[in-house]
Amino acid sequence: MSLNRRKVPAVPGPGIRAASAVGRAPSGQRARLRFGIVVFPGTWSDADCLFAVQDVLGQQARYVWHMEADLSGFDCILLPGGFSYGDYLRAGAIARFSPVMDAVKEFAAQGGLVLGICNGFQVLCEAGLLPGALLRNEHLQFRCQWTHLRVENASSPFTSACQQGQVLRVPISHGEGRYFADPEALAELEREGRVVFRYCESDGRITVEANPNGALNNIAGIINRQGNVLGMMPHPERCCHSLLGGTDGLDVFLSLLQWRARLANTR
Amino acid sequence: MHFLARVFVSLKPAVNDPQGITVLRALQRLGFSGVQGVRVGKYLEVRLEAADRAAAERQVAEMCGKLLANPVIEQSRFEVAEEAPATH
């Protein structure tokens, strides 16, 4: 796996947007994707998400304050990482009752794409949009490190630009990322191919050592049954530019662009 | 009527509790060799006003189901006691 297999401008600047929008957009794509980036009190990865989709990929994006209740006009909603409401009570427990979450549920029910990253994943689980829960890391440490993820399902809107089994190098930054679901829910996820990312070694092997938090079955990311809501603990938005030490996270966002282009072509 | 609800939230038995295991080991290191197990949970005090005790209990049960505990990983129980009105 080459970390710099894509030529990303070395220095961010005004030129990036135009260059990347022209150079990256999958063929057939004309209109830019419209991203809404939800901001709760305590969200901290919102600017990283904006940078990834707007500055690097040249898409439309704006922040959505948690009190907003109208998500019409967006193609994809990002729930970024952070500590919404200080993670009080449980990570994501209070954020799920923000007005914007009713709108996110409605948006998802209508087939809109929703990507929850880190704290966003925790919020999606608390809100019941994804099964299971994220528990305190098994070793009780907050882990901020690079991990390797194996793409277990390359047919989702979030991974369609990946190859099945491809290994991505993406950082984590969390203290509560141990995925848990009861045995029935877990079996269902596995049976239906809804485990999208699994922590692995750099060569793709799934090992106990590669699991940074004790997640069941090395689960790093899952998708809902309809396939339009993905939650993942690792941060793709933090590895979308060579300046950030890696560009593998771009695959997730490029998948969304590709997905949209495919939809446009089949209409 | 004023009530004080004491709410106890704990991880379900099937959920691994690394905090509890760490506390268990610390207690054993301190010489409490008889300690068999520790589970770490949460304790909340909720003061509320309700028409009667049954109404207060209904409210607290709903609070537990909606917010105070996550039924995927946690279980909860509570005790409701009448108390004098808060003075503040």
Q: Which of A94, A133, A138 is nearest residue B18 as measured by Cβ atoms? A: A138
All domains of chain A, ordered by start, with CATH?
33-266 (3.40.50.880)
CATH of the domain at B38: 3.30.1280.10
Overall size of chain B counted in residues: 88
Does the pLDDT value for residue A23 go beyond 60? no
CB atoms within 10 A of CB A224: 16
Mutation target among A98, A134, A180 for the B interface, most CBs of B within 10 A: A180
The answer to whether residue B22 is domain-embedded is yes
> Measured between CA atoms, how close is B67 to chain A, in angstroms?
7
CB atoms within 10 A of CB B80: 22
Does the pLDDT value for residue A19 go beyond 50? no
Question: CA triplet A108, A167, A35: central angle to 5 degrees?
Answer: 30
Spell out which residues of chain A touch residue B16, defining contact as CB-CB under 8 Å: 135, 138, 214
Residue A264 has what pLDDT? Answer: 82
The answer to whether residue B87 is domain-embedded is no
Cα separation, A97 vs A108, in Å, equals: 16
Cα separation, A195 vs A119, in Å, equals: 18
Name the pairing type of β-strands A76-79 and A34-39.
parallel
Cα separation, A158 vs A171, in Å, equals: 17
Cα separation, A90 vs A136, in Å, equals: 10
3-state secondary structure chain B: CEEEEEEEEEECCCCCCHHHHHHHHHHHHCCCCCCCCCCCCEEEEEEEECCCHHHHHHHHHHHHHHHHCCCCCEEEEEEEEECCCCCC
Residue B86 has what pLDDT? Answer: 66
Which H or E element spans position A105? helix A99-109
Between chains, do A180 and B68 touch, taking CB under 8 Å as contact?
Answer: no
Mutation target among A135, A186, A188 for the B interface, most CBs of B within 10 A: A135
Cα separation, A73 vs A157, in Å, equals: 19
Residue A12 has what pLDDT? Answer: 43
Does the pLDDT value for residue A4 go beyond 50? no
Between chains, do A125 and B72 touch, taking CB under 8 Å as contact?
Answer: yes
ipTM of the complex: 0.86
Residue A20 has what pLDDT? Answer: 41
**pTM to 2 decimals?**
0.88
Does the pLDDT value for residue A13 go beyond 90? no
Mean pLDDT for the stretch of residues A48-68:
97
Q: Tell me the HSE value of A91 on the side-chain side, using a 13 A CA sphere.
A: 26
> Measured between CA atoms, how close is B72 to chain A, in angstroms?
6
Residue B87 has what pLDDT? Answer: 66
Between chains, do A181 and B72 touch, taking CB under 8 Å as contact?
Answer: yes
> Measured between CA atoms, how close is A237 to chain B, in angstroms?
29
Number of structural domains in chain B: 1
The answer to whether residue B30 is domain-embedded is yes
Does the pLDDT value for residue A129 go beyond 70? yes
3-class DSSP assignment, residue A152: coil
Q: What does the pLDDT look like over A62-118, one tens digit per residue?
A: 999 999 999 999 999 999 999 999 999 999 999 999 999 999 999 999 999 999 999
Q: Which of B15, B19, B42 is nearest residue A180 as measured by Cβ atoms? A: B15
Residue A267 has what pLDDT? Answer: 64
> Measured between CA atoms, how close is A3 to chain B, in angstroms?
35
Cα separation, A200 vs A211, in Å, equals: 7
A264 close to A27: Cβ distance less than 8 angstroms: no
Range of the domain at B56: 2-82
The answer to whether residue B88 is domain-embedded is no
How far the first Cα of chain A sits from its last, in Å, is: 35
Q: What does the pLDDT look like over A204-261, one tens digit per residue?
A: 999 999 999 999 999 999 999 999 999 999 999 999 999 999 999 999 999 999 998 8
Cα distances from B13 to residues A181, B10, B20, B44, B75, in angstroms, run: 13, 9, 12, 20, 9
Cα separation, A160 vs B49, in Å, equals: 54
Cα distances from A259 to residues A31, A204, A224, in angstroms, run: 13, 25, 17
**B-proximal residues of A, 44-103, CB under 8 Å:** 89-90, 93-94, 97
Burial of B6 (0-12, 13-18, 19+ CB in 10 A): middle
Q: What does the pLDDT look like over B28-69, one tens digit per residue?
A: 999 999 999 999 999 999 999 999 999 999 999 999 999 999
Which H or E element spans position A266? helix A250-266
Structure tokens at A128: 């019941």
Between chains, do B67 and A89 touch, taking CB under 8 Å as contact?
Answer: yes
DSSP label of A30:
-
Among B32, B37, B7, smallest CA distance to B20 is for: B37
Q: What does the pLDDT look like over A159-184, one tens digit per residue?
A: 999 999 999 999 999 999 999 999 99
Q: Which residue of A has its CA nearest to B40?
A: A136
Q: Which of A131, A135, A137 is nearest residue B15 as measured by Cβ atoms? A: A135
Cα separation, B64 vs A39, in Å, equals: 26
Q: Which residues of A are catalytic?
A: 118, 235, 237
**B-proximal residues of A, 163-182, CB under 8 Å:** 180-182
**A-proximal residues of B, 2-61, CB under 8 Å:** 14-16, 18-19, 22, 42
CB atoms within 10 A of CB B39: 15
Mutation target among A88, A90, A134, A176 for the B interface, most CBs of B within 10 A: A90
Query: In the beta sheet, which residues pair with residue B8?
Result: B43, B77
Query: Could you tell me which residue, A265 or B72, shows the higher pLDDT?
Result: B72
Residue A18 has what pLDDT? Answer: 37
Q: Lowest-pLDDT range, A58-72, A119-133, B12-26, B73-87?
A: B73-87
